[in-house]
Amino acid sequence: MLDRVTRAPAATIGHATAVGAVTATGDATVPPRRLQRLRRTAPLRDLVAEVGFTQSQLIQPLFLVENAADTGPIPGLPGNVRLTRESALAQLDADLAAGARQFILFPVPARKHVRDFDPGFACDTIAALRRRAGNDASLWLDTCLCSYTADGHCCLHDTRGQQDLPATLDALVELALQYVAAGADGIAPSDMNDGRVAALRLALDAAGHDLVPIMSYSAKFASQLYGPFRGAAHSAPTHGDRRRYQIDVRARRDALASSQRCAAEGADLLMVKPGMSSLDLIQPIADATGLAVGAYQVSGEYAALALLAREGFADFDAALLESWYALRRGGAAFIITYGARLGRTLGLAAR
């Protein structure tokens, strides 16, 4: 059994910058854990409830596109579409009426850049969704660079083509601060770059957002199961792949260590991705860190169920519900799934 993570002493707080938040030994100088972050609103409390299984523990992805020409159904993900600001408001209304209370937003800007990203569209849409939802929903923001960068990578590169980690962390921090200022309830870093959770936690706290939780993609594997998502988010890399920063599917110890590091750096919630092929990791990560660990039922996993149903080999609703129970049986405290809005229809209580 891996040892539980420990926090840096409170006396060290204030002596680290966002980019310099992790020491050479990997220790993060972050504040003691604020347990109240996940008590702050009713949707957050429902998300991490440990008794029963309800629709409130399912998180619905929404793809927000700036370019109206990019709207429409997402291949492989029935019932999911790319949304403009206006159609996102209508979708939110429908999802709230269907009992969904947790959402993770994926902004897709119209223009991509090498650096100096503009999240204006994303922030305007977040603010509009926040006004419409009030306190009835949690809005999590996937925080990554892949939909913003010209090359589709989750990091920035220097003039030699090597990863520029300090600049990457700065860019992630800037996006997160603007998302929260616009009305995001929580930040979900998915990039898998070293030190990003500590950088985000320190920056959020310094800006007065110490009660904003971080849901870290702590064990995200380099997988073949992300295809429909990358099409929806316009985030496929134009060169190379992401194996330099995402976890090798054979590396169990790396997944555990990555999750422990995220916990030590200040994450409030952890996650495995892909969910169905990471069932062996959920409970060990929870045991090692003491944190709630969720699972992302990724686009390829969801699309596989849809394909089975389309070919007449399975009942989609029954297969989807079966997959959720398998993830819960494996220890998942919450599930990101493209069918979260179907929870009540499939028999789950609202909360």
- Amino acid 6: pLDDT: 47
> Rounded distance, CA 143 to CA 123, Å?
13
Q: Residue 33 pLDDT more than 90?
A: no
- Amino acid 154: pLDDT: 82
- Amino acid 206: pLDDT: 96
Mean pLDDT of 83-87: 95
Closest CA to 220 of 116, 165, 294, 157: 294
- Amino acid 134: pLDDT: 95
**231 located within any domain:** yes
**Residue numbers of the domain that contains 87:** 39-342
**21 located within any domain:** no
Q: Residue 140 pLDDT more than 50?
A: yes
Mean pLDDT of 24-36: 69
Query: By mean pLDDT, which of 7-11, 234-238, 298-302 is the weakest?
Result: 7-11
**349 located within any domain:** no
Active site residue 220: yes
Q: Angle at which helices 252-265 and 196-206 pack, to 10 degrees?
A: 10
Closest CA to 59 of 344, 341, 305, 272: 341
pLDDT in tens, 271-287: 999 999 999 999 999 99
- Amino acid 27: pLDDT: 53
CATH of the domain at 230: 3.20.20.70
**pLDDT mean across residues, the chain:** 89
Give SS3 for 38.
helix
Place of tokens 């009426």: 97
pLDDT in tens, 104-118: 999 998 887 778 888
- Amino acid 28: pLDDT: 52
Q: Catalytic: which of 220, 234, 242, 261?
A: 220
- Amino acid 165: pLDDT: 93
DSSP E strand stretches across the chain: 58-65, 72-73, 81-83, 102-108, 138-143, 186-189, 215-220, 269-273, 292-296, 335-336
**27 located within any domain:** no
**163 located within any domain:** yes
First to last CA, the chain: 33
Q: Residue 69 pLDDT more than 90?
A: no
**316 located within any domain:** yes
**2 located within any domain:** no
Total domain count, the chain: 1
- What percentage of the chain reaches a pLDDT higher than 90? 73
Residues 6+ apart with CB under 8 A from 112: 147, 148, 149, 150, 234
> Rounded distance, CA 143 to CA 280, Å?
26
What percent of the chain is helix, strand and coil (3-state, nearest 5)?
A: 40, 15, 45
Burial of residue 127, with CB atoms counted within 10 A of its CB: 0-12 exposed, 13-18 middle, 19 or more buried? middle
> Rounded distance, CA 83 to CA 108, Å?
10
Active site residue 273: yes
Q: Catalytic: which of 37, 85, 273, 341?
A: 273
Mean pLDDT of 125-130: 98
Per-residue pLDDT band for 21 (boundaries 50, 70, 90) equals very low
Mean pLDDT of 221-234: 87
DSSP letter assigned to residue 140: E
**104 located within any domain:** yes
- Amino acid 263: pLDDT: 97
Q: Residue 19 pLDDT more than 60?
A: no
Q: Residue 25 pLDDT more than 50?
A: no
